[in-house]
Amino acid sequence: MKNLKKKIGIDIFSGAGGLSLGAEMAGISVRYAIEIDSDAAKTYKKNHSDAKVICEDIRKINPIDLKDGDSPIFIIMGGPPCQGFSMSNTISRNMENPKNFLFKEFVRFVKELKPIWFVLENVKGITSINQGDTQHLIEDCFRELGYKVKSKVLCASDYGVPQNRHRFFMVGNRLNIDFDFPKEAEIKVSVNDAISDLPSLTNGEMLENAPYTRPISETSEYIKLMRGESVFATQNYVSRNNDLVIERYKHIKQGENWRAIPEHLMQNYADKGRCHSGIYKRLIADAPSVVISNYRKSMLIHPFEHRGISVREAARLQSFPDNFIFEGCLSHIQQQIGNAVPPLLSKAVMQQILTYET
């Protein structure tokens, strides 16, 4: 028989709350979140009303202040800032970047609060920096505290997320359990499976609420899950691009990128050799999306319409349900979505952890 006692969680470096949302879907009660960005903290609070959100530099926080009496903390979760670890940021991808050492704050919280489990999430680039020594350094920090540690890079599309997003997960426990990561799903969710009921939009359109284009009975299982009881599609916000950018979009077919744009429309690019493959990428309708990171700057294109993807479309591709509302200006919302852990990926890891509870 499973232990029905409530499992208490704390989310540090929480961002908008994707990791927490997955934990809550799995049955974990997240009581506290720490996030230094004010807009992300507002988003977290709006969507996790039962949690206390602390908008502060984590280095100024005493972990013991987050302990509720004698109640044991089941899990500490979080993703320390990863600018220096990211494969896309070669300039700061070294251990001289002070943000790389914020993982020590994660270690400090685990040391002080002694959770039964922890989950540290990050970009996959953490596995290769310093020839893998950085990953091993972090793992050893937790082993010295008595935790058994397992690490793996997971692809979100293997766990019901309509996006080929690779994220690093380190899972530890102080029960000496040899943790196995969850098995991959056999069926992948496509872009069309995820957003085909959302409204048609134009460049720069900002619709707070808009009707769905298909009855829920005629949608995919994924769309049914995302819509839940929602009546309208919310936050249908599209960045406004200039006429030249829209003209470029018209030359790009599904799966193609900036290389499909005629030369005469790219003359303002002094060095096209610096354009990575994700720039001006039109999504393929019948496959999972490419990574939704800073999708405004990357100019990710809707599969059928000559425009960027909307906030709600990006949220769907990250597996945020339609009742999840983001706070802040448009660019800050877009950044929150791009930085987030896909909730369904988090849920898969958390559910796997809970299988070891008796």
The CA distances from residue 108 to 31, 46, 61, 79, 145, in Å, are 18, 28, 11, 14, 10
pLDDT band at 87 (very low <50, low <70, confident <90, very high): very low
The CA distances from residue 76 to 20, 85, 132, in Å, are 10, 21, 24
pLDDT recorded at residue 126: 87
pLDDT band at 82 (very low <50, low <70, confident <90, very high): low
The CA distances from residue 206 to 202, 247, 264, 301, in Å, are 9, 21, 31, 17
pLDDT recorded at residue 91: 40
140-192: pLDDT as tens digits: 999 999 999 999 999 999 999 999 999 999 999 999 999 999 999 989 999 99
73 pLDDT higher than 70: yes
56 pLDDT higher than 90: yes
pLDDT recorded at residue 95: 46
The CA distances from residue 229 to 24, 192, 322, 332, in Å, are 18, 21, 9, 27
pLDDT band at 68 (very low <50, low <70, confident <90, very high): confident
Mean pLDDT, rounded, for 112-139: 90
Lookup: tokens for 237: 């916000």
| Euclidean distance between CA atoms 282 and 155, whole angstroms | 21
Its pTM surpasses 0.85: yes
3-state SS class at 323: coil
97 pLDDT higher than 70: no
pLDDT recorded at residue 357: 83
Which amino acid is it at 111? K
pLDDT recorded at residue 128: 83
pLDDT band at 78 (very low <50, low <70, confident <90, very high): very high
| Euclidean distance between CA atoms 165 and 338, whole angstroms | 11
> What are the catalytic residues?
82
pLDDT recorded at residue 271: 65
94 pLDDT higher than 80: no
Which among 233, 231, 191 is positioned nearest to 210, based on CA atoms?
Answer: 233
99-118: pLDDT as tens digits: 557 888 999 999 999 999 99
65 pLDDT higher than 60: yes
Whether the Cβ atoms of residue 305 and residue 201 lie closer than 8 Å to each other: yes
pLDDT recorded at residue 86: 42
The overall average pLDDT reported for the chain is 91
Range from 21-35, 85-99, 177-191 carrying the lowest mean pLDDT? 85-99
pLDDT recorded at residue 235: 98
Domains of the chain: 7-185+342-354 (3.40.50.150), 191-339 (3.90.120.10)
237-248: pLDDT as tens digits: 999 999 999 999
pLDDT recorded at residue 301: 96
265-315: pLDDT as tens digits: 988 776 666 677 778 999 999 999 999 987 777 789 999 999 999 999 999
pLDDT band at 93 (very low <50, low <70, confident <90, very high): very low
CA angle 161, 246, 237 (to 5 degrees): 50
